[in-house]
Amino acid sequence: MKKFSHLDEKNKAKMVNVGAKPVQKRLARASGKIFLAQNTLKAIQKQELAKGDVLAVAKIAGIQAAKKTSELIPLCHTLLLDNVEVNFRIDSTGITAESIVQSRGVTGVEMEALTAVSVALLTVYDMCKAVDKNMRIGEIILLEKTKQ
């Protein structure tokens, strides 16, 4: 089994030193889904919920979360992000969020992409919890991770 990079020789947590790595273009895409009742989906599409435009707020929350990932996940590096996108697709069972995060740096942006999706979906949950007691978040996955 490959050794974990976040553990030292005594198996204690450590931050990985990325100082010697070359700067490269980095990209990561992630997605996840929130399953919602039909009446909740309709209310979101018609912007009828008391808290406002659910998808607009969730998009901003996802972007902000990507930017704050190193403050949320203890051993993540603080990164300068070139771009963060959060987009949504609505289908008959719920809403899929997809993020794309880009950077020029020495380490990947997959945690930022996953965090963007997670927080965007949590924001949808928060904004809909008064009208939908059976929501479920799942299927959060890293779709792509590249470096050039």
Q: Per residue, what are the HEC states of 10-48?
A: CCCECCCCCCCCCCEEEEEEEEEEEECCHHHHHHHHCCC
The enclosing domain of 71 has a CATH number of 3.30.70.640
Residue-by-residue pLDDT tens, the chain, 148 positions: 667 777 777 777 777 777 778 999 999 999 999 999 999 999 999 999 999 999 999 999 999 999 999 999 999 999 999 999 999 999 999 999 999 999 999 999 999 999 999 999 999 999 999 999 999 999 999 999 999 9
Domain assignment present for residue 84? The answer is yes
Can you give the residue range of the structural domain that contains 49?
Answer: 24-147
Annotation marks residue 126 as catalytic = yes
Domain assignment present for residue 79? The answer is yes
Domain assignment present for residue 1? The answer is no
Number of domains in the chain: 1
| The residue type at 102 | Q
> 8, 91, 126, 132: which one is catalytic?
126
